[in-house]
Amino acid sequence: MDETTVLPQRIRLVLLSGVSGSGKSIALNALEDAGYYCVDNLPPQLVDQLLVVAAQAGHARVGIAMDVRSAEGLGQLPALTQRLRQRCDLHFIYLDCATDMLVQRFSETRRAHPLTARGLASAEPNQTLPFSAPALIEAIELERELLAPIARLGLHIDTSGLRPAQLRSWVRQAVGVGAAQLTLLFESFAFKRGVALDADFVFDVRMLPNPHYDPSLRGLTGRDAPVADYLRSQAAVMRMLEDITGFLRKWLPAMA
């Protein structure tokens, strides 16, 4: 896409970068959940081509993450972002994190830093980690040096004290997306067949009146109006429904 290329539609574009371990995957997933077409670790040289393809496919929102693995092309980003602002609604987000927190995160996940994996920092394995702490810190500082030219191209977020849910919320706010939409699936089951394995909440209602024991309703299901009418006529059912509804209204928003 050169200076004269016109996209089929104006795209809302989020470019995401930052140090390894700062939460780029979490941020990119938040964009994807918000309806963005997302690509991870795309070299800056390919951004133009991706936007053309995305626009032709009808994607109005695109999220792209790029990191030090594309170091050879990161020097193009300042000029690229300046040019893209003329053709896209562009947001640039840079994620950073304190070095001690990054060391802790790499220790917990037991993953090697990209620069140690590429042999750009002197990693000497020890018995507990896939890299030594000095080599990891060396890699983190080298990465910061390589990313310094792009660190202030847009919004700068320090994720040191952020939980994943907080980072997702910050990213949504940064790009003008409201609270995440929850998808709810309600499932009834018989305990004799086992509890639904993928359930987040299980409510045991075996103490409530059971329409199965009404001969006129036994052949029906919960989708049938007579069964619904029967349940609505039971005071205990309505009290239970009120309690469950109150619980879900209070706590479901925290799961967004």
Taking the domains of the chain in order of start, what are their residue ranges? 11-174, 191-255
Strands 11-18 and 61-65: parallel
Which residues, in sequence order, are bridge partners of residue 63? Answer: 14, 38
CATH 3.40.710.10 fits 11-174, yes or no: no
Q: Give me 54's structure tokens.
A: 């995305």
First to last CA, the chain: 37
What is the C-alpha separation between 218 and 123, in angstroms, rounded?
Answer: 69
- pLDDT for the residue 127: 39
Contact (Cβ atoms closer than 8 angstroms) between residue 50 and residue 62:
yes
Distance CA 135, CA 130 (A): 11
Write out the H or E segment, with its range, that includes residue 97. none
pLDDT in the model for residue 110? 84
For the record, the structure tokens of 49 come out as 């081509």
* C-alpha torsion 127→131→132→133, nearest 10: -120
Claim: this prediction has a pTM higher than 0.85: no
Q: What pLDDT, on the 0 to 100 scale, is given for residue 128?
A: 46
Bridge-based pairing of strands 155-158 and 11-18 is: unpaired
Contact in structure between 16 and 65 (CB atoms under 8 Å): yes
CA–CA dist 220, 153 (Å, integer): 62
String of b and e for 170-188 (b: at least 16 CB within 10 Å)? Answer: bbbebbebeebeeeeeeee
Per-residue model confidence as pLDDT tens for the chain (256 residues): 554 455 656 899 999 999 999 999 999 999 999 899 999 989 888 999 999 999 989 999 999 999 887 767 777 888 889 889 888 999 999 999 999 999 999 888 888 888 876 655 544 444 344 545 558 898 999 999 989 888 888 999 999 989 998 999 899 988 887 655 667 788 888 888 888 777 888 999 999 999 999 999 999 988 899 999 999 999 999 999 999 999 999 988 777 6
What pLDDT was estimated at residue 225?
95
